[in-house]
Structures are given as C-alpha cells and as structure tokens.
Amino acid sequence: MLLEVSDLFVSYGGVEAVSQVSFSVGEGELVSIIGANGAGKTSILNAVMGLVPPSRGAIRFDGSDITRLASHLRARSRMRIVPERAHVFAHLTVLENLLVGAYGLRKSMDVQQRLRSLYEFFPVLEERSSQLARTLSGGEQQQLSIARALISDPKLLLVDEISMGLMPKLVETVFQALHDLNRRHGLTILLVEQNALASLKIANRGYVLEAGRIALEGDAADLMRDAGVREAYLGI
Amino acid sequence: MDLFLEQLFNGLAIGAIYALITLGLALIYGIFGVLHVAHAGVYTIGAYIGYGVYAATGNLALAFAVSALLCALTGVAIERFIYVPLMKYPPYVPLISSIALFMATEEFCRLVAGPYVLSFSTNLPFPAFSFSGIRFSSNLTGVYVIAGAIFFFLWILTTKTETGLALRATSMDAPIASSLGINGALAVDTAFALGSAIAAVAGILVGIYYNEVHPDMGAMPAYKSLALIVVGGLGSVEGAVAASLLLGVAETLLIGFAAIPLPRDALAFIAMIFVLMWRPTGLFGARS
C-alpha cells in the first residue's frame, strides 16, 4: 500500500474531529472518502499532509512512518495536496504559483518541460501565466491549484473538496480531469468529497465517514448500490 | 532653490536609513506575524558592535561585516529562543516580550558600554562632490550607495531567486507553502537573519551620519518604524520602504525647510493616524 493510515485520531482543543480512522490507498488507485460537512474529511487529509498533528495513530507513506514528519518533508517525498478552496497564492502570478509547486526541484527535473505539458492540460493557465492568481475565476484557481500540485510529478495526490463552490458544469470537467490523471497517467489519488455521486463515479474504492468514524467501506460501485448510502449521500 | 534641493537630498538619505530599519520589521511581520519591537534593539547593538570593531581595528568594512553577521545571529537567536516558544500563546504575549527585550537590550548596551554618547567620528569611504551647487558629503554619498545597493540586492533576491519566491509564498500562506516542500522554519530564520543584518548596517550608518552612538538611539526608530509599517501596509516590504522614504523627505522639508512648528518626530504618527482613517490597510497593504 502506498498510503496506510491506522487508528488515526485528530482533535482540536479536546474536541475529537476524527476517531480511530483506518484506511489505505494502493499504488495507482483512486480512493474517495465521502461524508457530510463536518464529518472530519478535511482533518484526515490535513493530518496525512502534516498540516495538523494527529493526537493518536500512525501514517505510513511509501514504506516509511511519516506520522511525526514535518509537512515540507512529506511534500519532498512526493506527496501533494489540492486544498479546499484552491488556496492559490493570491498575490503571486500564475507562473510564480506553479514555480512554488516546483520548489527545490529545478535541478532534478526539467521544469520548462513540465510547464509545457501542464499548459496542454490546462490551456487557460498559459494564457494567464503573468496574471496575479487572485484575478482568476474560482474554476481557474482550482485548475491552478491542481497544476501547482502536479508540476512536481507526485506519487500521491490528495484532493480536498474540489467541487466546493464550482458550477455543476465545471465539477464534471474537474472530475473528468482527475479520472484521466488516474486511469491514463497512473496517478494515485485520495479524494475527500461531499459530492458523493460524482466522486464515487470515478473512484475505485470508497469510504463513508460519519461523525469522524468510518461507517462503511468497499468498492465504489458497491457503495453506489448500497441502499443506506444512496439514501444518505446520493439523494436517490 | 539650492537649499530646497539640499534639504530634499538630506531627507531622502534619512528616509533611506529609516527604510533599512523598517524593512526588516516588515519582512519579519510578513512572514512570522510578530511585531518585533526588539528589532530596534538589534539595530542599537549593531551600531555598538560596528563602533567597537572600528575602534579596535580601524577597518570600517570589517566593522560592517562583523556587525551584520553578529546581528544576524542575534536576530535568529531571539526568534528561536524567545518568540518560537511563545507562539503557542495569544499574539500579545510575544509582543510584550518583544517590548521587554527591547528595553533589556538598551540596558545591556548601557551596562557594557556606559551611559555615554560615543562619538563615531569617521567618514564613509565615498567621494564628496558638488553638483550644480548642491554639496554631497562623503557620508551622504555613502548612505545613498550603501542603501541603494541593499535595496537592489533585496529586489533581486525577492523577485529573481527561488529563495525569494519561497519567502513570498510563506508570507502569504505558510501552511500551503510548507505542503509544497518549503521549510517554513528556515524561511523565518532567513527573514530574521536578513532583517537583523540590514538593521546592523543601518545602526552603523546612523552612528557615522550623526557622529553618535548611545544606548537610547533605538528608541525613536522603535516606534517610528512601527508607525511606518502601518503606513506602508503591515508586512509589505515595498510599502515600508516607500513610507520610510516619504517620511524622511516630509520631515526634512516640512519641518526643516518650511519651518512648520511641529516636533519633527510627531510627523510619522500624524501620518499613521491619517492613513488609518483613510486607508486602514496602508499605502501598499494588499491583505485585509
């Protein structure tokens, strides 16, 4: 398994947001964690990325224990996050945002070549490369956030609530892009989503999170057929 | 007219010195979020170290280098041993400790070097010349060249290098920057080291320009630079530099040349009050 999380607890000031969560993501998989707002999805991703400290539990990535590793060192072992609401650097240009994504990699990879292939995937970013990121629309910022993560050629991409605040049409495009990245380019992706239907449609496997605990897990197709899931999350 | 121009150039030099002190404060606030009042203490220590090294060796370049280096280390030590352990408390805790630390550095200088005004009587090794009736002393030329070189270096660093990009990214969003592989603690160290080294240079320049080094020399810069980073827009380095240059010129022209009957040092605070009323984010303030 590329990522293995076991018995993870995250709490904020004594309030438990994540309780005893265990899950794994294998190489080449697209795994989705679905759940309602406030179920602890973002806390899980932030704990994996090292942005919040877990109170208990263990996180293993690519064969080593990273539970206590600083965030920037996790990033350097080729893990990247696309945070909720994009979080682009508003006062840097689009190109500068992408170069931050390639921080420390200029010697080991051909950054110009990476930029060219990303621009092929996201043509709007090339058009706007010298604009400040804050002048982009929400969908464009989301694309920039994905491209900023992808420029480093990560082994694992964490994607946090990418559908939030996007128009339905864009949601479809963005999920299609993630699907392509996984199926065609072999990128391993861990998705957390409120939009259960769209994310299960493209996932191999899924976990259902309820009040900080894993309530259900299985193949994405099985989850979509599950009566409880259909009623609670898919609105069918 | 000549007098006006002469005053203008003097004011610009004073503004440049203000800028050298204030930009470190802006850099540190931008990346670390602490109002580092003790920055003016580092500036005072820098002036004393420069004075001491020059008195002992007669080598001014060495005095600048040793002072900048030791102050860079002092700045990083203050960050690591005082601020970082206090960051888990509300922001007023590091702020208060910073004020206490500033007073402690003043008293430290008084204890070590005595409560006297030391005379730093030397000239910066730059040519003095006259240009269409306006006299540039070697010290005035020196302040321009040294400050100009530092501004240029910082501009190259922040806009053309990967380190500069990492500093800017960290000051905008530290957690996200770290999730992209940037070592946030190193970025903070860099800001303290750079800002403190530049404050040391400013301390020596002031010592030579006014021919005096004394334990209280940091008092006025301490609160003036606070007013200046508010005027410039908290955390904006270019705003801090612009506000400092404007203030140097305004102080000299309005009070020195136009003889407006105001205490010179009040101007920075009047400017701060007006800027806060009219544009609370400061002249260059981008973040809300």
B111 touches chain A (CB under 8 A): no
The interface predicted TM-score (ipTM) is: 0.92
Show Cβ contacts of residue A154 under 8 Å, excluding neighbours closer than 6 positions. Answer: A78, A79, A80, A187
B182 touches chain A (CB under 8 A): yes
Q: Which two tokens stand for residue A31?
A: 């795994």
pTM of the model: 0.90
Residue B108 phi/psi, 5° resolution? -60, -45
pLDDT band at B189 (very low <50, low <70, confident <90, very high): very high
Show Cβ contacts of residue B54 under 8 Å, excluding neighbours closer than 6 positions. Answer: B60, B62, B63, B120, B122
pLDDT value at residue A164: 83
Task: Tell which CATH architecture fits domain A1-78+155-236.
Answer: 3-Layer(aba) Sandwich (3.40)
A96 CA to centre of own chain: 21
In chain A, the residue whose alpha carbon lies closest to the alpha carbon of B169 is A89
Inter-residue contact A182 to A27 (CB < 8 Å): no
DSSP string, A103-148: TT-TTTS-HHHHHHHHHHH-HHHHHTTTSBGGGS-HHHHHHHHHHH
In chain A, domain spans: 1-78+155-236, 88-153
Distance in angstroms (rounded) separating the CA atoms of residues A1 and A96? 34
Distance in angstroms (rounded) separating the CA atoms of residues A185 and A182? 6
pLDDT value at residue A160: 94
Chain B contacts of A84, Cβ < 8 Å? none
Cite the beta strand spans of B127-264 per DSSP E. 129-131, 134-136
pLDDT value at residue B1: 67
Of the partner residues B169, B175, B286, the one whose CB lies closest to the CB of residue A100: B169
Q: Which two tokens stand for residue A169?
A: 């049409």
pLDDT band at B272 (very low <50, low <70, confident <90, very high): confident
**B177/A100 CB distance under 8 A:** yes
pLDDT band at A235 (very low <50, low <70, confident <90, very high): low
Best residue in A42, A49, A66, A71 to probe B by mutation, most B CBs within 10 Å?
A: A71
pLDDT tens-place string over residues A183-209: 999 999 999 998 888 899 999 999 999
DSSP for residue A182: H
In chain B, domain spans: 13-219
pLDDT tens-place string over residues A37-67: 888 899 999 999 999 999 999 999 999 999 9
